[in-house]
Structure 1
Amino acid sequence: MTDCDGSYVFSTPLVGPYPESLPWEGWGAWPPGGGSRVAAPSPASCPRDLRGNPFQCDCRVLWLLQWIPTVNASVGTGACAGPTALAHMQLHHLDPKTFKCRAIELSWFQTIAESALGVEAFSYQGEPHIVLAQPFAGRCLILAWDYSLQRFRLEEELSAPSVVSCKPLVLGPRLFMLAARLWGGSQLWARPGPDLRLAPMQALAPRRLLRPNDAELLWLDGQPCFVVADASKAGSTTLLCRDGPGFYPRQSLHAWHRDTDAEALELDGRPHLLLASASQRPVLFHWFGGRFERRTDIPEAEDVYATHHFQAGGDVFLCLTRYIGDSMVMRWDGSMFRLLQQLPSRGAHVFQPLLIAKDQLAILGSDFAFSQVFRLEPDKGLLEPLQELGPPALVAPRAFAHLTMAGRRFLFAACFKGPTQIYQHHELDLSA
């Protein structure tokens, strides 16, 4: 390391003899006793004049833009040589806030061998958990974090042949698990306390839940309820609310429409329910007078398989999944949802938004191509491509969930024709 005059400064003696291969020329005079460690001079003791230098004004100069206002400098500091959009602009005219020097990446972390149709995150006794609906294995699989191995491990499983959805509900020390099943009847399991195991508690509406396809949890008038979308030709979506120790039918909705998905959301301060079906456009219901009443449908949204919503900047958005055609992003305008964006999605069964850290993401899973991750750009108000998930590639993804554990953020991808994959969310500083 050179000092300001070009000579090298050494901090501790070097035990001889010195190797003959050392390039003596240009090193200056050795200090008495030689030297072994090279001491870097302080920037304050070694000033550099940056005036007149051309700069590539990208993330590499962000530190300089943030440093300039902290010193008493009244002279110009140089101009940008690139990129083209900033050529010849003076550094002191640049706004550090306009530099996007933070990137994110989802990288593979762990594989859960069995396939799954659904995945849900929940917190029980202060610990994050994940539950997977595994129809081929015939179970709801609960995973917890292994602090010694630093990976996810099996905590408990409950028998649920032909399960399509495992929906958790935590009420204080009690844990409930709804297992919606295609055959054999849907069940409610319960764990009275943290030291006990889940056990069957109740058969849920055996004459109403004929072919469940989705289940969601919602709160109505301060009480927890489940809504189960029924895809049978003669079935109807059923609202189950807590009454005493169990959950019982409160209302039947949308009979004969073969519903494939239910989404609970809040609009204008009131609970709403959005049902997607194979026979008509998605229908929006609102909670009024102790029951759900039809409010409107979503125009120009035929053949929607599933719906998910998210909030950003005070607005409510919908992600509508379409297997054939383009999936859609819509925004609530106060009276109905209006089309905002379309994304090619042939073979998609899931288009799911997730808020991870401070990034609003949306993942479009496909049976025929790589699953795409999009990020909402606040300046544009649109979803922009971020990355593809993989390797390993997802095989027929059906649901996503995320949780934060020990300061690390994880994304779970439930796949119908392949193993469940777990990815870790990383933040990258491009200005470093």
Structure 2
Amino acid sequence: MGGVGILLLLLPLAGAGVAWRPPKGKCSLFCSCSKDSVLCEGSPDLPDVFPPTLLSLSLVRTRVTQLKAGSFLRTPSLHLLLFTSNSFSVIEDDAFAGLSHLQYLFIEDNEIGSISKNALRGLRSLTHLSLANNHLETLPRFLFRGLETLTHVDLRGNPFQCDCRMLWLLRWMSSVNASVGTGACAGPAALAHLQLRHLDPKTFKCRAIELSWFQTVGESALGVELFSYQGEPHIVLAQPFAGRCLILAWDYSLQSFQAKEELSAPSVVSCKPLVLGLRLFVLAARLWGGSQLWAQASPDLRLAPMQALAPRRLLRPNDAELLWLDGQPCFVVADASKAGSTTLLCRDGPGFYPRQSLHAWHRDTDAEALELDGRPHLLLASVSQRPVLFHWSGGRFERRTDIPEAEDVYATRHFQAGGDVFLCLTRYIGDSMLMRWDGSMFRLLQQLPSRGAHVFQPVLTARDQLAILGSDFAFSHVFRLEPDKRLLEPLQELGPPALVAPRAFAHVTMAGKHFLFAACFKGPTQIYRIHELDLSA
């Protein structure tokens, strides 16, 4: 039953026809008054003098522009309040303050396009609420908070936009015993004309990720790696032009990342950390002058050169990866020289020594260690052929297969999600690719345009699987994996002047905050703060 109908039923209770003549000037010219009810029509403002025992008030076609806080403090005994065909468009916070006995509130057929989130605060006796036939596209979150006595709510006739702003309402509807008339969605187009009560809250994607600049670390870098030492996260940057591996740690007093240690490594391309017990090792793969292994020399994270690594085999390293084989730590170094070969180095006594030469003469640009079918695998990308997948068998890597439809792949990175193994393939020009392991080989899922890309890297944050496709010529693109579709959806663009020619990314959690490190070849390393946004707020 509409608000006017309920009002007609209640009016006989207001004195049953008992005449009441207010003192002269106490009833507005635009109002009809009885002992405990008032009906005002066409009033230019809200009347401010009412009978002390007023139980019901109806305002019809008034010229009031907005309902302000405390508009009805002089009518604390009201049980019913009705607005219809009025011109006001805004209801402010605490507009109905003081109406602790109000049971029926009908705001129907008005011009209302906005209602504040605390507009209904204090209506602890309210049982019937109608906001029908207004111009509301959304309702503020927690509008009905504290209204535990509600039994009937009418929201029909509003042009609701059924987006994330309405998610709270869908959840509220499913959690209360009140009868709710919701009407249909006016938008977006995909949901137009659907009844609100038929919408599934689980289909709404209302979380967003946003990256904002946080800090710059001087000097360009080719790589960034994360490791944990004594319970604290540390970051190591490969800085070829500065000629060092730079180790960073969080400074709690400055609330920023600061240099902790640096290792001399001219022309370094990769600084790969390894923590064994209380001891830290860092492999510094260098284009010129020979690759080295550094080891911790003192408890305060000071390191010293320990070993020259395979000087006759590692002629032009381009990448280094850490992997564990048969319970032993190993490094694989991808060699891009014509005469060199990618080399597997495993721990033997105090140092790391060549265990196997792989893929000779193929000018490998990248190595990726991964596990498939419960066994260690190694994927090598090369400028001379398609990426080749090796598997660990009998104490050595044996060729298993290559990746079809994947020419000119510069680098590969894998990640796991929902029990599946995915692969990001970086191509400099053309289309980089997202693939998924089907049990025998990697199959193409998605192609993403590349413009000077040297990195297409998955990054796992606290709750989201991201992938970042870098660009030397334009903006880099941040994607998020949508679990339902198993595809990457665009999230954000990062670009000049801060982010220039990115080469590697790493996610770091520190002091309850999430950060993204971006190593750049043509500019300083950039650190971004990762913010999680609730679009339903």
Amino acid at match of 2:455: V
Aligned length: 408
Q: Partner of 2:506 in structure 1?
A: 401
CA deviation profile, 1:219-269 (whole Å, cap 9, x unmatched): 001110000001110100010001111111110001111111000000100
The answer to whether residue 292 in structure 2 is matched with residue 212 in structure 1 is no
**How far does residue 94 in structure 1 lie from its aligned partner after superposition?**
1.3
* Residue 152, structure 1, aligned to residue 257, structure 2: yes
Partner residue, 1:229: 334
1:224-263 to structure 2, matched below 5 A, reads 224-263=329-368
In 1: Cα distance, 2:222 partner to 2:421 partner:
26
RMSD of aligned alpha carbons:
2.2
Q: Deviations over 1:106-132 (max 9, x none)?
A: 111111110001110111110011100
Q: 1:39 to 1:53 in 2, by over 3 A?
A: closer
Q: Secondary structure at the match of 1:338?
A: strand
Does structure 1 retain, via aligned residues, the 8 Å contact 2:331–2:344? yes
SS at match of 1:104: strand
How does the TM-score come out when normalised to structure 1?
A: 0.90
Greater CA drift, 214-223 or 378-387: 378-387
Match of 1:63 in 2: 168
Q: Which has the larger radius of gyration?
A: 2
User: Secondary structure of 1:62's partner?
Assistant: helix
Classify 1:261/1:75 alpha carbon distance in 2 versus 1 (closer, same or farther; 3 Å): closer
Q: Cα distance 1:292–1:412, how it changes in 2: closer, same or farther (>3 A)?
A: same
Q: What secondary structure sits across from 1:366 in the alignment?
A: coil
Q: Secondary structure at the match of 2:451?
A: coil
- The match for 2:457 among 352, 355, 361 is 352
State which of 192, 205, 225 in structure 2 corresponds to 1:87. Answer: 192
Q: Which deviates more from structure 2 when the two are superposed, residues 59-68 or residues 146-155? A: 59-68
- Offset at residue 390 of structure 1 (A): 4.0
Distance 1:39 1:88, change over 3 A: closer
The answer for the alignment partner of 1:13 in structure 2 is none
Comparing both chains, which one has the higher relative contact order based on Cα–Cα distances under 8 Å and sequence gaps of 6 or more?
A: 1
1:44 aligns with 2:149: no
1:317 counterpart letter in structure 2: F
Deviation string, structure 1 residues 20-69 (Cα, Å, up to 9, x no partner): xxxxxxx99x9xxxxxxx99842434553241242222122211111122
1:23 paired residue number: none
* 1:118 paired to 2:223: yes
The residue type paired with residue 203 of structure 1 is A
Specify which of 109, 120, 134 is matched with residue 239 of structure 2.
134
Choose from 318, 337, 340 the match for 2:423. 318
Amino acid across the alignment from 1:42: G
In the superposition, relative to structure 1, how do residues 368 and 288 fare at CA in structure 2: closer, same or farther (>3 Å)? same
Offset from partner CA, 1:261-309 (integer Å, 9 cap, x none) = 0000001000000001111111100000000001111112111111111
Q: Per the alignment, do residues 196 and 302 of structure 1 end up closer, same or farther by CA in structure 2, a change over 3 Å counting? A: closer
Closer, same or farther in 2 for the Cα pair 1:296/1:41, shift >3 Å?
closer
In 2, the alpha carbon distance for the partners of 1:147 and 1:209 equals 40
SS at match of 1:293: strand
Are residues 200 and 7 of structure 1, via their aligned partners in 2, closer, same or farther at CA, if it must alter by over 3 Å?
A: farther
CA distance in 1, matches of 2:496, 2:426: 24
More off after superposition, 396-405 vs 381-390: 381-390
2:204 counterpart letter in structure 1: F
Q: Normalising by the residue count of structure 2, what TM-score does the alignment of the two structures yield?
A: 0.73
After superposition, where does 1:148-187 map in structure 2 within 5 Å?
148-187=253-292
Instruction: Please report how far the alpha carbon of residue 326 of structure 1 lies from its aligned counterpart in structure 2 after TM superposition.
Output: 1.1
Contact 2:173 2:180 in 1 (8 A): no
**Structure 2 contact 318–365 (Cα < 8 Å) conserved:** yes
Quick one: which of 384, 391, 398 aligns to 1:286?
Answer: 391
CA 1:318/1:43 → structure 2, altered by over 3 Å: closer, same or farther? farther
Q: Which runs of 5+ in 1 are unaligned?
A: 10-26, 31-37
State the one-letter code of the partner of 1:237.
T
Equivalent residue of 1:198, what SS? strand
Question: SS at the partner of 1:210?
Answer: coil
Q: Summarize deviations over 1:136-179 as a string: whole Å, max 9, x none.
A: 00000001011111111011101001100000001111000000
Residues 429 and 451 of structure 2 are in contact (CA less than 8 Å); yes or no, is this contact kept in structure 1?
Answer: yes
Cα distance between partner residues in 2 of 1:2 and 1:235: 79
* 1:44–1:216 CA distance, 2 compared to 1 (3 A): same
Q: Distance in 1 between matches of 2:518 and 2:284?
A: 19
> What is aligned with 1:271?
376
Give unmatched runs, 5+ long, in structure 2: 1-67, 77-94, 99-117, 131-152
The residue aligned with 2:202 is: 97
| Map of 2:410 onto structure 1 | 305
The residue identity in structure 2 corresponding to 1:266 is E
Q: How far, CA to CA, are the matches of 2:478 and 2:340 in structure 1?
A: 35
Alpha-carbon distance in 2 for matches of 1:223, 1:308: 22
- Report the CA distance shift for 1:68/1:391 in structure 2 as closer, same or farther (over 3 A): farther
Q: Distance in 2 between matches of 1:365 and 1:39?
A: 48
Counterparts of 2:179 and 2:319, CA distance in 1: 65
SS at match of 1:384: strand
Compared with structure 1, are the counterparts of its residues 81 and 135 closer, same or farther at alpha carbon in structure 2 (3 Å cutoff)? same
- Give the match's secondary structure for 2:429: coil
AA partner of residue 152 (structure 1): F
For 1:325 and 1:82, how far apart are their aligned partners in 2?
37
Counterpart-to-counterpart distance in 2, 1:124 and 1:155: 12
**Partner secondary structure for residue 327 of structure 1:** strand
What SS does the corresponding residue of 1:97 show, helix, strand or coil?
Answer: helix
- Given the superposition, is the C-alpha separation of residues 207 and 430 from structure 1 closer, same or farther in structure 2, using an over 3 Å criterion? same
Equivalent position amino acid for 1:92 in 2: R
Which secondary structure state, in structure 2, belongs to the residue aligned with residue 60 of structure 1? helix
CA distance in 1, matches of 2:457, 2:301: 34
